[in-house]
Amino acid sequence: MKRFIEEYKDESFDVVVIGGGITGACVAYDAASRGLSVALVEKNDFGWATSAATSKVIHGGLRYLKTFEFGLVRESLKERRILGNIAPNYIYPIPFMFVNPTFVMKIGLFVYDLLAFDKKFTWDQSKKIPNHYPLSREQVIAAEPNTKREGLKEARVYYDCQNIFPERMTLTFLKSAVDCGARVSNYTRVEDFFVTEGNQVSGIVVRDLVNNKICTIKGKLTINCAGPWADIVLQLAERGVTKVKIRRSEGIHLIVRKLVDKKSVGTMTKAGHFFLIPWRGHSLIGTTDKEYPGTPDEYSVTRQSIQELLDTVNMDFGNDNPIQYGDVLFAYGGLRPLLDAQGEDIHTTTRKYEINDHASAGLGGIITVEGGKYTTSRNLAQNVLKVVEKKLRKKLVPCLTSKKRLSGCEIDDMEKFIESIKKENSDFENTTVEYLGRNYGTEYSEVLQMARQDKKLAEIVNADGEILAQVVYAIRKEMAITLKDIFFRRTGIGTLGNPGERVMASVADIAASELGWNDDRKQRELSELAKSFQLPD
């Protein structure tokens, strides 16, 4: 992958996509896979905002049954199966245990199973999902001893899927788009629309933030996939098209010590629900669902938000050892773009999406995607392409994205794959090979080859077995520009919290050598990285 903006020569594209999160990535992939010429730009790094602020779960949306959104639940459950098929190294079934379920929830679980009637039609037989089942009080305590015992009566266990590295999965959709001919560029900010006669959007004006250069990218159709920024981007047109209004919901997550073993444990609260999810030997706590009235560029996780989540968790989980603020190893958050529904509670606002063609408002050549969720992004893109086909008046080949594995995910049986690559690469620790196999898929061997060529790059930097060769791979092959790109979105070195000064310095030295940083730039990068690990006061 290379930033096309640095070599852009005034080409014109069929489709120009604004936004490099999961929605934009899926749209770019679908469009390119059908033979359209595609350019995608992202003002920051790919998948840096909402797409990185998930619970690392691909789910059908059990709670949406409460508001009778059966169509959304069915779509989500279908997409859960499809994503497990096309990205087998990222998606795995995981049990969710709800303690003391209400009668309504018990009915909902039966409906959930019915709507997931095709859940066993998986390409990898190990990914089949069973129906829900009950657990007695004694079984709950045996399975997850930290579950609060006061008032505990029973539980129900159902299955959804865990996405072990959403940021890399977003990147994998982009890689798949590039393999089909798409041109992509991060750190490329839209500053204006290129509007021609008849109030027709014929492209975008962007600034390459790496080289501080402005250029115009021409295209027949522009698709605004800017998520929480979608309405703000649209206002750049300054043609009176201000009807699109995104409602923003804050969702935060916390990484703490290991509190649950193999099952995610959740309870319902007045404000919604929360889960403790096992992840990389730790527990991931989330999520919140709170309206955010400010502008997305000013958003950050606050101490109040963290404490509110901790108070909720401690009320319903744990026995004699409540989680303290100081126990939080890492906190992250983001803003969900929701369809605006005035007066409606943010928690019950739909997670559906809309595709708006602004021609009816007097601005042609541009489409805006509103709302949506990570799980349904592939299908959202498929529906966007139906609109694109009509707008371009061009008959496209049928959608292929549900029938073909993503780039690097060409694996028939995940567990057999892991066992085989461990045997084939016995010169590395099993933990390293397994981590790379699951998070890089068939591309794992390129990382190991770099480590074989330079033994210093074989150094293990954490308990998961990650190695310094991943840093070089991120820069040379995956368009990483900053330390935060490397620590949070190309590798998992930073996603469990501060890995220590020695590791940070080692990675920074490699990045400086690869990217040509002077000492001042390296120190600025380290300073920005260190801020990312600090909890708010």
Mean pLDDT within 330-338: 94
Amino acid identity at 109: L
Quick one: the chain helix, strand, coil %, rounded to 5? 40, 25, 35
Q: What is the rounded CA–CA span in Å between residue 17 and residue 211?
A: 21
pLDDT in tens, 459-490: 999 999 999 999 999 999 999 999 999 999 99
Place of tokens 């750049």: 236
**Residue 343 scores a pLDDT above 50:** no
What separation in angstroms does the CA of 470 have from each of 422, 461, 464, 492?
18, 11, 13, 10
pLDDT in tens, 407-420: 999 999 999 999 99
Q: What is the rounded CA–CA span in Å between residue 389 and residue 392?
A: 5
**Confidence category of residue 351, pLDDT binned at 50, 70, 90:** low
In the chain, what percentage of residues exceed pLDDT 70? Answer: 95
Helix (H) or strand (E) holding 217: strand 213-224
pLDDT in tens, 204-233: 999 999 999 999 999 999 999 999 999 999
Mean pLDDT within 157-172: 98
Place of tokens 């009235």: 293
Decide: 305 and 250 in contact? Cβ < 8 Å. yes
Mean pLDDT within 336-353: 64
Place of tokens 């496209």: 396
Collapse the DSSP code of 239 into the 3-class scheme (helix H, G, I; strand E, B; otherwise coil) and give the result: coil
| Nearest-10 crossing angle of helices 70-86, 377-392 | 100
Q: Which residues contact 503 (CB under 8 A, 6 or more apart)?
A: 461, 462, 493
**Confidence category of residue 319, pLDDT binned at 50, 70, 90:** low
Backbone angle region of 368, left / alpha / beta, with phi > 0 → left and psi within -120 to 50 → alpha: beta
Collapse the DSSP code of 224 into the 3-class scheme (helix H, G, I; strand E, B; otherwise coil) and give the result: strand
Is pTM beyond 0.85 here? yes
Backbone angle region of 77, left / alpha / beta, with phi > 0 → left and psi within -120 to 50 → alpha: alpha
Alpha helix stretches (DSSP H) within 341-443: 377-392, 414-424, 430-440
Is the dihedral angle over the CA atoms 430, 431, 436, 439 positive or is it negative?
positive
pLDDT in tens, 404-454: 999 999 999 999 999 999 999 999 999 999 999 999 999 999 999 999 999
Which domains are seen in the chain, by residue range? 4-50+168-245+351-392 (3.50.50.60), 254-339 (3.30.9.10), 414-533 (1.10.8.870)
What value does the CA radius of gyration of the chain take, rounded to a whole number of Å? 23
pLDDT in tens, 292-316: 999 999 999 999 999 999 998 888 7
pLDDT for residue 361:
85
